[in-house]
Chain A
């Protein structure tokens, strides 16, 4: 199988055939203190090495997360873009009412997995899937599933804020409008409630009629969050919601995620490990389309079972 493109991996992996003369002493040194340089020596990361060879090793799933009550159950989920396989048998149950984050280097399939949950990948040409994802026990990839109703049960916020070119009010109530809700009072109440939950109400209550395009990036992203919770979704999907924002706006969104996490189940994809550590209850580490380790955030960051995970979350690898 040809190597999957994986461009952001800085240290070059020595080819096995090369005589490892120079590398020899490095291998004997203890892992801690190597820094990023020790990267991908063979034998150091058996699971990563196996994944790079195209295998799918059994991931470590901690009992703590497997025993929780699950709302979303991803079972042996596989996905192909045309001929290239992007997800290799991911099994990842998501705990009800908690915040779960998925971390991993770019290209590890975490966004693809997130977009599979509300079937947005259906839009992409040549996508095939296998395995199952079920929401409250119903398989969302079963034949005859109504994708539109499914998407109404799942809120989603994208990498870049994508407000629609209309007023702030119309943006927030869009999901209600398209379902045919016309009553002014209902719309206004829903709008205020969603904006309050998104911590945006005080900033925009005087200019609900003005265009959403005039808001700052962080405000736009909070507007998008308000827009996606106006129908009270069962799960809120956040796809790197802070990647286009400055640090202060990021901080506000993180506070908001923690607050929203008390009401909703949140699944957040991020490449920012500190963010995952700050906001989530559970963390999954993915690599090249495979799940590597999955457990309570505290465990993943402080007591990971795999050396790969430890070195990734401490920034020594990846």
Chain B
């Protein structure tokens, strides 16, 4: 004989099981809903012209987003050129110079704090710290520029790369370092020949993740790069980016431009999907070589 309490706890369990499964299903279906919609509308707006043409200025036939695609690539490249080396070196410091534990402890905390800064605040900092002083120096009105945008993106990137690098380096067994140092290698030799190669896959994953993250950022660019409808490769000018152009088109009044916004999002998402997928592959290959070797 089963008591009421017994029946009750069993039915609660069944119910909660169904709810948990429903939660997972809901998240997955949300992703499919959002991305499905995006692919559905985006693909119909996507054309060769979209990838190669620049804005025409004609709202009924707005041209393409070549300028914005180039802009995003250049911005991410510029930000990474600064952000990756600085981030990796800072990560090396946090992990390998742990004897200076007061400093590393504080700086680790600082890096954590920096990863939590809202991206719009980073954009405003870029405006106040780069755009305003440069305008004052050049005596021009307001000098929004690709450099300012890249600086804001690098600001977001550095702490992320630093923390992932540190975590990946910590996974390299201590015996590697001791083995190398015992053979008379210097600290720099040990770091460059043993520690960094040992964590290469993990660091590469972290860097790619950070690049994907900044490629999708809009808010830090609003008041720094500003956006542009011209095809420009000169970062000293107001600079276009895919995200800024999508935002402008999507919130604007013209239907043809809205279609372009969808297509732009599709390109952006496809890019991020490829990045994420390759991260998975790199990470799993990395895991295999580390364990199986």
Give A contacts to B, CB under 8 Å.
148, 178-181
Contact = CB atoms under 8 A, between A and B. Distances in A.
A181 B8 CA distance: 12
Nearest 8 A/B pairs, CB to CB: A180-B5, A179-B5, A180-B9, A179-B6, A180-B8, A178-B9, A180-B6, A179-B9
Given A178-B9, A180-B8, 11 more contacts: A148-B10, A179-B3, A179-B5, A179-B6, A179-B9, A180-B3, A180-B4, A180-B5, A180-B6, A180-B9, A181-B5
Nearest to A152: B6
Contacts of B9: 178-180
A180 B9 CA distance: 8
A148 B11 CA distance: 13
A179 B3 CA distance: 9
A55 to B, nearest CB: 33
Contacts of B3: 179-180
Contacts of A178: 9
Interface of B: 3-6, 8-10
A209 B35 CA distance: 52
A209 to B, nearest CB: 25
A266 B45 CA distance: 73
Contacts of A180: 3-6, 8-9
Contacts of A179: 3, 5-6, 9
A179 B4 CA distance: 10
A195 B174 CA distance: 46
A178 B3 CA distance: 13
B60 to A, nearest CB: 59
A150 to B, nearest CB: 13
Contacts of A148: 10
A148 B9 CA distance: 11
A148 B4 CA distance: 15
A148 B10 CA distance: 9
Contacts of B4: 180
A90 B27 CA distance: 46
13 contacts: A148-B10, A178-B9, A179-B3, A179-B5, A179-B6, A179-B9, A180-B3, A180-B4, A180-B5, A180-B6, A180-B8, A180-B9, A181-B5
A147 to B, nearest CB: 11
Nearest to A178: B9
A181 B4 CA distance: 11
A179 B10 CA distance: 10
A178 B13 CA distance: 11
B121 to A, nearest CB: 38
Nearest to B13: A148
Nearest to A179: B5
A115 to B, nearest CB: 22
A199 to B, nearest CB: 31
B242 to A, nearest CB: 43
Which interface residue of A178, A179, A180, A181 has the most chain B CB atoms within 10 A? A180
A183 to B, nearest CB: 12
A181 B6 CA distance: 10
B31 to A, nearest CB: 26
A52 B5 CA distance: 51
Nearest to B3: A180
A156 to B, nearest CB: 20
A179 B9 CA distance: 7
A310 to B, nearest CB: 42
A148 B274 CA distance: 46
Contacts of B5: 179-181
Nearest to B7: A180
A148 B5 CA distance: 14
Nearest to A182: B5
Nearest to B4: A180
